[in-house]
Amino acid sequence: MPTHTQTYTWLVTGTSRGIGLEIVKLLVASPVNTVFAACRNPSSATSLKTLKYAATTKGTLHLIKMDVTDEASVQQARDEVEDILDGQGLDYLFNNAGVAVKDDRPSTMNADDLTSTILANVVGPALVTRTFIPLIERSQRKVIANVSTALASIGTDYGPQHLSYSISKIALNMLTYKQVKERPDLCAVLVDPGWVKTDMGGSAATLEASESAAGMVRVVIGVTPEDTGKFIDYTGKEIPW
C-alpha cells in the first residue's frame, strides 16, 4: 500500500454495489486516498451514502453521478471531478462498471442483449477514459485499470456460454491494446476480478466481493510502466490473451 507521505486520487465507476462498492470501501479506509465513486444514481446508492460518513472511512469520498454510456453525463462528471481536484491529477481510473446477460450462447443470443452489453462494457470505458485523460495526464501514476474477465481469453476454454459478456470483454481487451499503442506514456492494464459472488456472478461463485476487490486493488497499486498492456487476474497472475 502507498505510504502516508503520499496521497492518491481515484475514480471508480460502477460503485453502487458489488465489486465496485467493495473497492471504494477498501480505498477510503486509508487516509491517503481521495475517491470519486461514480454511479448512475448516487441519491439512491444507500450503501455509498452510508460509507461517506462511516467511522471506518479515513480517506475522502465524493459521490459522482455518471452514466458511462451517456457522453453528456460522462463530460459533466469530468467537469465536477476537475473542479474538486483543483489542478491536481487523477492517479487511478478504475473502469469497473459493466453488465452481463445471465447465460446466452450462440444458439440463444438476443441481438438487443448483445448490443446493450457492448454499449456498457466497451463504449462506456472508451468514453470515460477518453474524457478523463486530461486529468490523468496531470498525475504521476497515470494508471487506467479496465476490468475484464478470463471469459474473454481465447487462450482459455470456457465453452459456449456467456456469449455477449465474453464478446464485450474481448472488445474491451482490444480497446486497452489500442489505448496502450496510442498512449504508451499511460499505464493501462486489464484486470480480471475472478468469479465473484455478486448479482452478476451469482451465489455459486467462488469469491467474496471483498476478496476480489482487495486483490484487484493490490494489483493496480503495484503496476509499473513495464506492466502496461498486461492482462492480470486479481491474484497478480497473467492471463493468456
Q: What is the mean pLDDT of the chain?
A: 95
Q: If residue 215 lies in a helix (H) or strand (E), which one and from where to where?
A: helix 209-222
Show the DSSP H helices in the chain as ranges: 18-28, 46-52, 71-85, 111-118, 124-136, 163-182, 209-222
Q: How many domains does the chain have?
A: 1
Mean pLDDT within 158-173: 96
Q: What percent of the chain has pLDDT over 70?
A: 98
Residue 5 is predicted with a pLDDT of: 65
Read off the pLDDT of residues 66-82 as tens digits, 9 standing for 90 and up: 999 999 999 999 999 99
pLDDT value at 138 more than 80: yes
CB of 171 closer than 8 Å to CB of 122: yes
Query: What is the amino acid identity at position 156?
Result: T
> Does any domain span residue 117?
yes
What's 19's domain CATH number? 3.40.50.720
Calculate mean pLDDT across residues 7-18. Answer: 98
Amino acid residing at 79 = D
Confirm whether 74 is domain-assigned: yes
Q: Give the rounded percent of residues in the chain with a pLDDT score beyond 90.
A: 90
Please tell me the distance from the alpha carbon of residue 109 to that of residue 111, in angstroms, as a whole number: 7
On whether residue 217 sits in a domain, the answer given is yes
Residues 76, 52 contacting (CB under 8 angstroms): no
Structure confidence by residue, pLDDT tens digits, 206-219: 899 999 999 999 99
The whole domain housing 58 covers: 8-233
- Is the pLDDT at 100 greater than 90, yes or no? yes
